[in-house]
Every structure is written in structure tokens, then in C-alpha cells.
Amino acid sequence: MIKMVAAVGLFLVLSLAGSGFAGINGPEEVEKLKEALASGSSVQRTQIAKIITNAGIEDQGLYEKIAALLRDGYPKGFESDHVDEMSWLCKALAASGDPRYKALLQEIAEKAPSFKLQHYAEESKDLIGEYADRMRIMNSTETWDDNLNHEENRLANMLKSDNIQLKKDAAKTVVRSIMVHKKIFEIIDVELLGMQGNKRTRGEDIDTMAWMCKALAVSGDARYAETLKQVMAGTMDIKLKIAASKALKQID
């Protein structure tokens, strides 16, 4: 029976991880996450915590379950897998964007027997405000397009935002997705050209643009070839040139 529960938990982890984090927000997906957190496997709970950290999920019950796991588990020792699980659960709790969890994270930062866990609890506490901003951007419905589904509208919000990490996360999701609406690729095209025109490009911008090139390649649409050529011609960065060149070969 224990092996059966573990197998089901692993299936949930793999299926949710493969769906792309921007797509995990519906009631059924969130319930699967809750079920996986109830698994007896520390490794599985760690993987679920990693998924939750970037998912922008709005479900108080999910975060209460994470808080309960932390309250019960953080004092229980130095074993490596346990500390990793607790550390990722701290990050997942911060992803709630809810300042009510600062007290628990501060408690862990002060009292956890592992210095590593103390560090991640303190770091997570300080990230709650940043995650609240991510949540607000991802789930804003002010400019939603009726032609796009819930997950695609969240991707569009991320791509159009000024938050460079959200842009990169969205591009990564598109690369790893089975299928997205053609309008998402149109948004990526516009945003990539906009970043290309910015002469004060930073390292994080370059990395994001490289992922956006890969995302355009996923479209398989030759009309984006000109954009990729512009990126290649307009950058001195080798990494970005290679990403644009590979993407161009896939669609040209």
C-alpha cells in the first residue's frame, strides 16, 4: 500500500511538472498538489514545493498545508533530504505573497537546528513582498484576451511585464509547453524586438532574450525569421547570437 501511494505521488509530481508552472492554478491541479504534499516521500514534497514556488497559485488552503508541514518539521534535525525539503517549503510559503507567514519564517530563521534552513527561511521571509508583486502581475485580469485561456492570459501578463524574471519564466514555459495560442508568440515577438532596441542590455536581459528566441522557434512560424535575424545582427553577445541562430534554423 505504501508503494502504491508513493507511485501515485510520483505520477502527480511528473504530470504537474510537465504542465508548465503557469498552467497550475485550476482547482483540480491545486488539489493534486495538496495530495502530493500529503505523500510520505520527502523527495516528492521537495519537488512539489519547487513547482509551487514559481506557480503564482492563489489558494489559501495550499499554503496553510505548507505552513503546517513547516511547523511540524523544521525542528526535526540535520538530515540532508529533510533540510532540503524544509528549505524548499520555506520558499513555497514565501510564494504565497502573504505577509502573515513572515512570523513563521522568522521563527524558523531563529530556531531551526540547521544553519542552512535558517538561511533559507530568512531569505524566504524577505522575498514575500516580491512574490506578492509577481502574483499581482500574473493574475491581473484587466487586459485579459477572451481568445486566450486562463494559463495563456497569465503568460501574456508575464511577457508584457517589466519584471525581467517573469518574462524569462514565461519564455521557458512556452519552450516546454506542448501548445500555446499563436497570440503568445506574437507577444514574444513584440517584446523581444523591444528589448533588442534597448541599448542598455544587462546579463539577465540577454538570458531572457535567448529564451524568447527559443520560444519563437517553438512556433515553427517563418514570419519570425526577420526578428531573429535582427537579434543576431544587433548583439555582440555570443550566447544570444547562438540562441537566435539555432532558432532561425528551426523555422527558416
> What is the predicted pLDDT for the residue at 201?
65
Write the DSSP string, the chain: -HHHHHHHHHHHHHHHHTT-GGGTTSHHHHHHHHHHHTSS-HHHHHHHHHHHHTT----HHHHHHHHHHHHHHTTS---HHHHHHHHHHHHHHHTT--GGGHHHHHHHHHH-S-HHHHHHHHHHHHHHHHHHHHHHHHH--TT--TTS-HHHHHHHHHHHSS-HHHHHHHHHHHHH-S---HHHHHHHHHHHHHHHT-SS--HHHHHHHHHHHHHHHHHT-GGGHHHHHHHHHH---HHHHHHHHHHHHHH-
Query: What tens digit of pLDDT does each residue of 183-201 get?
Result: 999 999 999 999 987 766 6
Whether pTM exceeds 0.85: no
- Residue 56's pLDDT band (boundaries 50, 70, 90)? confident
Query: What tens digit of pLDDT does each residue of 216-244 get?
Result: 999 999 999 999 999 999 999 999 999 99
